[in-house]
């Protein structure tokens, strides 16, 4: 059994931490808002005083926070993960933060501290069920060493050296956002031409968007988009995708269009709702 620290007990981190506990690992937790810790300490986890304290107490430190700024906040400085890490520590970065933040983290860690980046695909239900897809970046022996631990959370896929996990996650999300944008626009076009909603879904069933249309149909018809993956975080990912494309000199026109829909919906007040509420935003636009 491993002593695992989870830093960041949001929607994803709290569920991932619970899985480690249920699998019999010793769990240390830290969260900026301490009120989120008792749910896990009540089940046997130990509350750390700071991310550095969490790192000092654990063999593996998993970070799962919102964005690159949050990752900096929990890893740098005197109370950060780096300050509490040593040669026996492995840091596994599982937020969606992009390659630049991962390489910044690698530079901040002491020499000898091991690092994997392992962002995840899947949302709250998958985190709870241990059914996430995990894109892992790191050297072969380190990945092999921690694959059994990561398997508690889902299915690890080793995609390359450190940073490759972060890159892979952006590739995956670029497809999600482009598909949602296309779906929203197709529905708006159907409505604009006077086709009924039922007819629109029948048409979409005959297209490559068939599965997505069916999956989102209930939310579209009820207007209820329960927050699982907040739209503000999806916007952050779209910005990271754009930044990665710029650095890679890759022309992502659909990606930029999808990003603009998410940005508008966020500014229109949908940031705390689920990212799929971008569909409601697109369909509600009447330029
Ligand atoms: N939700 C999903 O479906 C999903 C799916 C795949 C990947 N992800 C990624 O997983 C990560 C976590 O997502 P989530 O859904 O768990 O988000 P969340 O519920 O909003 O939780 C965010 C976590 O980050 C912490 N945090 C934010 N800013 C901080 C700061 N400046 N200093 C310290 N801690 C800070 C929050 O602490 P407080 O509790 O104090 O606010 C909280 O623990 C994100 O990178 C997201 O893109 C999410």
Give yes or no: residues 99 and 141 share one domain.
yes
Give yes or no: residues 137 and 271 share one domain.
no
pLDDT tens-digit profile of 133-154?
A: 999 999 999 999 999 999 999 9
Give yes or no: residues 135 and 181 share one domain.
no
Residue after which a domain boundary falls, among 142, 160, 178: 160
**pLDDT higher than threshold 80 for residue 286:** no
Q: Which atom of ligand 1 is nearest to the CA of 73?
A: 32
Mutate to test the pocket of ligand 1, among 7, 12, 166 (most ligand atoms within 8 A of CB): 12
Q: For residue 285, name the pLDDT band (cuts at 50, 70, 90).
A: confident
CA of 189 to the centre of ligand 1 (A): 35
> Domain range spanning residue 207?
168-284
In whole numbers, what is the pLDDT of the chain averaged over residues? 97
Give yes or no: residues 11 and 148 share one domain.
yes
Give yes or no: residues 278 and 228 share one domain.
yes
Give yes or no: residues 153 and 180 share one domain.
no
pLDDT tens-digit profile of 6-58?
A: 999 999 999 999 999 999 999 999 999 999 999 999 999 999 999 999 999 99
Active site residue 169: yes
**pLDDT higher than threshold 90 for residue 287:** no
**pLDDT higher than threshold 70 for residue 120:** yes
**CATH code of the domain in which 80 resides:** 3.40.50.720
**E-assigned strands of the chain?**
3-7, 26-30, 46-47, 60-63, 90-93, 114-117, 120-121, 132-137, 154-160
Give yes or no: residues 19 and 109 share one domain.
yes
Mutate to test the pocket of ligand 1, among 8, 9, 123 (most ligand atoms within 8 A of CB): 8
**SS3 assignment, position 110:** coil
Give yes or no: residues 25 and 148 share one domain.
yes
Please give the tally of structural domains in the chain: 2
């Amino acid at each position: 059994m491993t002593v695992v620290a989870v830093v960041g007990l949001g929607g994803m981190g709290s569920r991932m931490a619970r899985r480690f506990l249920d699998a019999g690992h010793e769990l240390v937790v830290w969260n900026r808002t301490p009120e989120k810790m008792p749910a896990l300490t009540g089940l046997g986890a130990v509350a750390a005083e700071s991310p550095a304290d969490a790192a000092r107490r654990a063999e593996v430190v998993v970070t799962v926070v919102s964005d690159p700024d949050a990752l900096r906040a929990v890893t740098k400085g005197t109370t950060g993960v780096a300050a509490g890490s040593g040669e026996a520590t492995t840091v596994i970065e599982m937020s969606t933060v992009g390659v630049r933040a991962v390489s910044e983290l690698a530079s901040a860690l002491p020499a000898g501290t091991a690092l994997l980046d392992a962002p995840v695909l899947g949302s709250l239900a998958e985190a709870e069920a241990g059914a996430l897809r995990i894109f892992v970046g790191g050297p072969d022996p380190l990945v092999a060493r921690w694959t059994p631990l990561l398997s508690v959370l889902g299915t690890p896929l080793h995609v390359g050296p450190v940073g490759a996990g972060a890159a892979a996650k952006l590739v995956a999300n670029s497809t999600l956002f482009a598909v949602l944008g296309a779906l929203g626009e197709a529905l708006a076009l159907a409505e604009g031409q006077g086709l009924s909603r039922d007819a629109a879904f029948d048409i979409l069933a005959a297209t490559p968007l068939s599965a997505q249309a069916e999956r989102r149909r209930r939310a579209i018809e009820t207007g209820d988009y329960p927050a699982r993956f907040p739209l503000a975080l999806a916007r952050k990912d779209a910005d990271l995708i754009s930044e990665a494309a710029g650095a890679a000199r890759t022309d992502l026109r659909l990606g930029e269009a999808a990003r603009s829909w998410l940005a508008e919906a966020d500014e229109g007040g949908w940031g705390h709702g689920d990212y799929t509420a971008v569909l409601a935003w697109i369909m509600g636009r009447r330029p």
